[in-house]
Amino acid sequence: MLIGLDAGTSVVKATAFTDEGDVVAVASRPMRTMVPAPGRMEQDLEEVVAAVGAVVREVNQIMAAGGWPAPDLLGITAQGDGLWLLDERGRSLRPAILWSDARAAPIVAEWVASGLAERAFRRSGNMVFPGAAAPLLVALERDEPASLSRAATAAYCKDAILQRLTGARATDASDASVPFLDVRARRYDTALLDLYGVAARRDLLAPVDPTPGPLRPLTPEGAALTGLPAGTPVAGGLLDLCATMVGAGVRRPGDGLVILGTTLGCGVLIDRVATGGAAAGMTLCLPEPDRWARVMPAMVGTPSLEWALALVGVGRDELEALLAESAPGAGGTVVLPFFSTAGERAPFVDPAARGQVLGLSLETTRATLVRAVCEGIAYSARHCLEAAGLAADADVFVSGGGVRSPAWRQILADVLGRPLKVARHSEVGARGAALVALGAARRPVDEERWTRTEIEVEPYAARGALYDAGYVAYRERLETTRGRWSGPAANGEVGSS
């Protein structure tokens, strides 16, 4: 028995698995995002740590009540990017800055305009964005240098949890990929640190574990938090996008993944690093030395839909009815769903990107508007997968909270024009964390059984022409609009104090 822990932006979840990959128990806790000023997105590490302890304890109690043996292994995955400043003991020195934060948008805009961002991409395969560590370090250097001077580590969420459970100061190559890693050699690139102007803070970067990473024993403090025995082996695991790719069973280069979650996480498995083409997206290290995830983690995930539902005054439980009530194509209504304060980071980077709703009339209903948002997000997914290099014969796997909606996942299949393989269960990130932990423990595992697809969604051929035309219109509107956005980021106002 083992537990996969997935600490996402909106929810922390623990899942207990048998060694054969069957789910025995699941527990979750919602997470709070603080907005101390417009464009600033932060979380309290102590709340994250408390949620970790609560979900692991609950899962353990469910297992005990069901007569299952106690878990003897724990694997971790979590949200990536952002900046989690820690002291020597792994305590937070300030609220964690999230990947969705926009305070560094003017810095990224400067880097894009000067060509610095593209030079970094050509070297690393990773395009910088406001919520990445490099611009956030620069922003804090300007606004809060004392915080950086007191810090021992500029960590990621997963690594902050790992240190609290095991005392270890470490990261892995998937989290470290953006923005300072040489992803081919899997070590920090001094030239990138120099390029971003943060070489003086090199000592804040945690050591990068080899792959597979070492197992570390749960400390007495970690045991008191989780209710697991001290000494229980803990695997640091992967960034959540990479863990989900593992948990979904994406194993063939060219195949793709779409995560309909807080982030619209789109990725393609690749077997060589390429830094040509448009400067966009990320190249993240996977556990195998010759495998990477070419990802386009767009900012247009489920919060865009939740915004639309709130705007028309309905709850998430009414989504199916609204989508059934509206016709494919949304009556010509087109949505560019760039509603994040931080703009967009994939398949292009523009901190000033803003949403648009086009084609409204007095006949537009709330159902039409909601469908148009769902279709806009699906068009963005198609754009992201194309930019990431999805193969013509690719399998596309899907996961995330959004796939619980049969109607929305049907829209995605129709827009992509491809069958979708719905990843086994909803705990796909936790499943990936568990698989990585089993690999670190050198325990035998049947990956086919662990990651078998349980549902396949076929596209409706009759809608192909409609959605192909809709996608062309979406791209044309996007290209017409790009460079003409205005707002706080475009004017250098986001994050100003």
What pLDDT was estimated at residue 316?
A: 92
> Residue 342 phi/psi, 5° resolution?
-85, 5
pLDDT in tens, 112-138: 999 999 999 999 999 999 999 999 999
| Per-residue tokens: 318 | 């009414």
Provide Rg for the chain, Cα atoms: 22
pLDDT in tens, 180-203: 999 999 999 999 999 999 999 999
DSSP-derived pairing of the beta strands 282-285 and 292-298: antiparallel
- What is the Cα 20 distance to its own chain's centre? 26
pLDDT in tens, 45-95: 999 999 999 999 999 999 999 999 999 999 999 999 999 999 999 999 999
Distance CA 364, CA 371 (A): 11
Helix 105-114 vs helix 133-143: crossing angle, to nearest 10: 120
Q: How confident is the model at residue 492 (pLDDT cuts 50, 70, 90)?
A: low
Q: How confident is the model at residue 428 (pLDDT cuts 50, 70, 90)?
A: very high
Distance CA 417, CA 52 (A): 39
DSSP state of 83: B
pLDDT in tens, 204-219: 999 999 988 899 999 9
Question: What is the residue-averaged pLDDT of the chain?
Answer: 94
Distance CA 295, CA 227 (A): 36
Name the amino acid, one letter, at 157. C
Mean predicted confidence (pLDDT) in 99-112: 95
pLDDT in tens, 270-327: 999 999 988 999 999 999 999 999 999 999 989 999 999 999 999 999 999 999 999 9
> Residue 189 phi/psi, 5° resolution?
-105, 110
**Predicted confidence (pLDDT) at residue 493 exceeds the cutoff of 60:** no
| Per-residue tokens: 134 | 């490099």
| Residue-wise DSSP of 439-489 | HHTT----HHHHT---EEE---GGGHHHHHHHHHHHHHHHHHHTT---STT
Domains, the chain, with CATH or none = 2-243 (3.30.420.40), 250-422+460-481 (3.30.420.40)
- What's the pTM? 0.93
| Alpha helix (H) residue ranges in 125-271 | 133-143, 145-150, 157-166, 173-180, 190-196, 220-226, 240-248
Residues composing the chain: 497
pLDDT in tens, 21-31: 999 999 999 99
The residue ranges of DSSP E strands in 46-205, in sequence order, are 74-78, 84-86, 96-97, 153-155, 181-182, 187-188
**Predicted confidence (pLDDT) at residue 462 exceeds the cutoff of 80:** yes
Q: Are 332 and 380 in contact (CB under 8 A)?
A: no
27's CB contacts (< 8 A; 6+ apart) are 13, 14, 54, 55, 56, 58, 59, 62
CA nearest neighbour of 375 among 324, 431, 333:
333
Q: Are 139 and 150 in contact (CB under 8 A)?
A: no
What pLDDT was estimated at residue 427?
A: 86
| Per-residue tokens: 31 | 């997470």
> Residue 451 phi/psi, 5° resolution?
-115, 20
Distance CA 140, CA 40 (A): 13
Q: Are 7 and 78 in contact (CB under 8 A)?
A: yes
The residue ranges of DSSP E strands in 250-347, in sequence order, are 256-260, 264-270, 282-285, 292-298, 334-336
What pLDDT was estimated at residue 424?
A: 76
113's CB contacts (< 8 A; 6+ apart) are none
Q: How confident is the model at residue 426 (pLDDT cuts 50, 70, 90)?
A: low
